[in-house]
């Protein structure tokens, strides 16, 4: 594939919590139709970055571009309007409602809107279709989510995001609590979503998982992006090296430095020629997969 324009780009994001500089001029790039892993040590700023990119919090400064256009994401609803959905780590499901109702949480379909009478048949029909589409097997879409297993719940949360995301889905540690089989199921769903042309941003501490499912990896350290890799060209040692500060592929100006440039100008990204990358942390094109 030829040079792709970023779908989403963050430049120089700064977010301060009191004395803590959670984001210290962070950059982030996601390209169309890829799985990009966002990794970093505890406290590196990953969740903060995701929250700013999904409209949950406002950065103190910095810019966000969607399809090359500067946007201001003032709420999760605002982000949704740009095709951005988020699967939060706690999943934000309503345990007492069934899977179909959870799928439509906040976007209920009404039979008689004025009377708030829900069209349960239609919601159920769409839910069954959405789960089938994702290869999710639920024993009963009418069962309360509380009665589902962790992996099944995860699948409901993923299905909900997939049902509404038109461009990009953030998943903040979706597999952290899952067993081997359930984890594989979620990873399969991530691949399916990607194959439908939707970009997935996966936050994970599990390096084998990152290597198995992602096309690219971006590494955050102390509130800044310190490295980017094509997954096909990297390995656990490099990823750990980047997380711990032993390795960097970035040569980026810090926050407040002049010339924040235009979006997409600071490759490496897919399709750009590798530059200034130590070792095999090269950057030519998307993974072969």
Ligand X SMILES: Nc1ncnc2c1ncn2[C@@H]1O[C@H](COP(=O)(O)OP(=O)(O)OP(=O)(O)O)[C@@H](O)[C@H]1O
- Binding of ligand X by 17 (CB under 6 A): yes
Minimum CB distance to ligand X smaller for 175 or for 283: 175
Q: Residue 71, exposed/middle/buried by CB under 10 A (0-12, 13-18, 19+)?
A: middle
Minimum CB distance to ligand X smaller for 20 or for 94: 20
Minimum CB distance to ligand X smaller for 75 or for 265: 75
- Binding of ligand X by 45 (CB under 6 A): yes
Binding test (CB under 6 A) with ligand X, winner from 48, 102, 154, 214? 48
**Pairing mode, strands 168-172 and 84-87:** parallel
- Binding of ligand X by 43 (CB under 6 A): yes
Interacting span for ligand X (CB under 6 A) from 38-46, 59-67, 123-131, 241-249: 38-46
- Binding of ligand X by 59 (CB under 6 A): no
Binding test (CB under 6 A) with ligand X, winner from 8, 10, 14, 22? 22
Return d(Cα 209, Cα 191) in angstroms, integer: 12
Q: How far is the CB of 157 from ligand X (least distance, A)?
A: 17
Q: How far is the CB of 220 from Mg ion (least distance, A)?
A: 10
Hey, which residues between 86 and 115 contact Mg ion (CB under 5 A)? none
Hey, which residues between 40 and 79 contact Mg ion (CB under 5 A)? 46-47
Interacting span for ligand X (CB under 6 A) from 4-12, 17-25, 123-131, 250-258: 17-25
Of ligand X, Mg ion, none, which one does residue 277 interact with (CB within 5 to 8 Å by kind)?
none
- Binding of Mg ion by 214 (CB under 5 A): no
| Count of residues that interact with ligand X, criterion CB under 6 A | 11
Return d(Cα 197, Cα 203) in angstroms, integer: 19
- Binding of ligand X by 199 (CB under 6 A): no
Residue ranges in contact with Mg ion by CB under 5 A = 46-47
């Amino acid at each position: 594939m030829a040079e792709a324009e970023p779908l989403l780009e963050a430049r120089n994001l700064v977010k301060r919590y009191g004395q803590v500089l959670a984001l210290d001029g962070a950059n982030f790039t996601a390209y169309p139709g890829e799985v990009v892993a966002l990794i970093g040590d505890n406290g590196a700023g990953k969740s903060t970055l995701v929250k700013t990119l999904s409209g949950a919090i406002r950065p103190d400064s910095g810019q966000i571009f969607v399809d090359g256009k500067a946007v201001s994401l003032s709420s999760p609803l605002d982000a949704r309007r740009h095709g951005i959905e988020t699967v939060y780590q706690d999943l934000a499901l309503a345990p007492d409602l069934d899977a179909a109702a959870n799928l439509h949480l906040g976007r209920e379909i009404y039979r008689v809107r004025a009377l708030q009478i829900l069209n349960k048949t239609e919601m159920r029909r769409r839910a069954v279709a959405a789960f089938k589409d994702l290869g999710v097997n639920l024993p009963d879409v009418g069962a309360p989510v509380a009665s589902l297993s962790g992996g099944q719940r995860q699948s409901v949360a993923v299905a909900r995001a997939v049902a509404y995301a038109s461009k990009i889905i953030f998943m903040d540690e979706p597999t952290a609590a899952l067993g081997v089989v359930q984890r594989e199921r979620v990873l399969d769903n991530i691949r399916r979503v990607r194959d439908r042309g939707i970009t997935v941003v996966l936050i994970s501490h599990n390096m084998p998982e990152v290597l198995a499912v992602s096309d690219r990896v971006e590494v955050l350290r102390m509130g800044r992006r310190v490295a980017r890799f094509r997954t096909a060209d990297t390995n656990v040692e490099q990823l750990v090296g980047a997380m711990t500060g032993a390795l960097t592929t970035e040569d980026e100006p810090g926050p407040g430095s002049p010339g924040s440039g235009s979006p997409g100008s600071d490759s490496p990204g897919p399709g750009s020629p590798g530059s200034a990358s130590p070792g095999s942390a090269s950057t030519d094109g998307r993974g072969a997969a």
